[in-house]
């Protein structure tokens, strides 16, 4: 299981409630799992010179259940530069 997933959320202000919901869902699904050290959500804020930031959430392969539940799309493993840990373990891969 090595497929990462991403969900583009758009504007950072509008994405905030969804990010909180994701953290809650993550906690309820993965906190008790045996392999939870491989589960993590990362967030990337990208402004690219625009007035507002665009938010993308990356799901480690171990979070495929949650990624599928929110219709995240498969992607390559993201670069770590510019990523912030949203939930889980920073060293998840």
- Number of domains making up the chain: 1
29 belongs to a structural domain: yes
Helix (H) or strand (E) holding 17: helix 12-30
9 belongs to a structural domain: yes
Q: Which residue range forms the structural domain that includes residue 15?
A: 4-88
93 belongs to a structural domain: no
Please, are residues 62 and 38 in contact by the beta-carbon 8 Å criterion? Answer: yes
37 belongs to a structural domain: yes
pLDDT in tens, the chain (93 residues): 589 999 999 888 889 999 999 999 999 888 766 567 889 999 999 877 666 788 999 999 999 999 999 999 999 999 888 899 999 988 776
Helix (H, G, I), strand (E, B) or coil at 21: helix
Q: What is the pLDDT of residue 21?
A: 94
What is the rounded distance in angstroms from the CA atom of residue 32 to the CA atom of residue 44?
Answer: 26
């Amino acid at each position: 299981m090595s497929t990462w997933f991403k969900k583009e959320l758009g504007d950072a202000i509008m994405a905030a409630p969804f990010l909180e919901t994701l953290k809650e869902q993550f906690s309820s699904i993965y906190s008790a799992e045996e392999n939870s050290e491989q589960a993590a959500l990362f967030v990337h804020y990208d402004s690219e010179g625009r007035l507002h930031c665009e938010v993308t959430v990356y799901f480690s392969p171990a979070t495929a259940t949650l990624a599928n539940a929110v219709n995240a799309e498969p992607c390559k493993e993201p670069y770590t530069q510019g990523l912030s840990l949203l939930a889980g373990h920073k060293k998840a891969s």
